[in-house]
Amino acid sequence: MNGMRFAPPIRLILMATAALAAVAIVVSGCGGGGGSSAGSSSGGEGASGAFASGAEAACSTANKAISELSTPSQAEVLKYLETTESVIGKLSEEVSALRASDAAEKAYTAALAKSETVLNEMTNAARNENFDAVREISDELIELNLGELAENAELTVCAEVPGSEA
């Protein structure tokens, strides 16, 4: 019955929605929510303060790019994932270049790099129209707990969900 037939539109939309929810969760650990960042991102440690300010700026830029993406239709999921992968890849490079100094910053940086790999796997699955795999792989993004890792590293902007304006 599977053959060359496409999955029913509702099924694809549900799978795409699940994948997008996972992307939103990963991005909540990567991009900030607009202009208000009221938090103590400078923990008093010199290098750590430089890391935090640089990471927060990079997260703010990534958040803006992700927020500008509209919720995709099933036909737009691949483009959405490609764009998201590109944004997160750039963010990961920028944050990695800041050279994390403490364990929390290093954990966030490592998970961010892993999220880039997972997004690449999701994008490849979407290219093959394997939306079951996209959904399954998206669980890996959730398991990274980027938002929590950002909070542990005192990266307030990085821990916020993009486009979340109260």
- Per-residue model confidence as pLDDT tens digits over 37-78: 333 334 444 457 899 999 999 999 998 998 888 888 778 889
Q: How far is CA 28 from CA 10, 35, 47, 56, 119, in A?
A: 26, 15, 24, 12, 14
Q: Which residue has the higher pLDDT, 34 or 149?
A: 149
User: Is the pLDDT higher at 96 or at 42?
Assistant: 96
pLDDT value at residue 8: 44
Residue written as tokens 């991102």? 41
Distance CA 144, CA 138 (A): 10
Query: What is the pTM assigned to this prediction?
Result: 0.75
Structure confidence at residue 163 as a pLDDT band (50, 70, 90):
low
Higher pLDDT, 8 or 68: 68
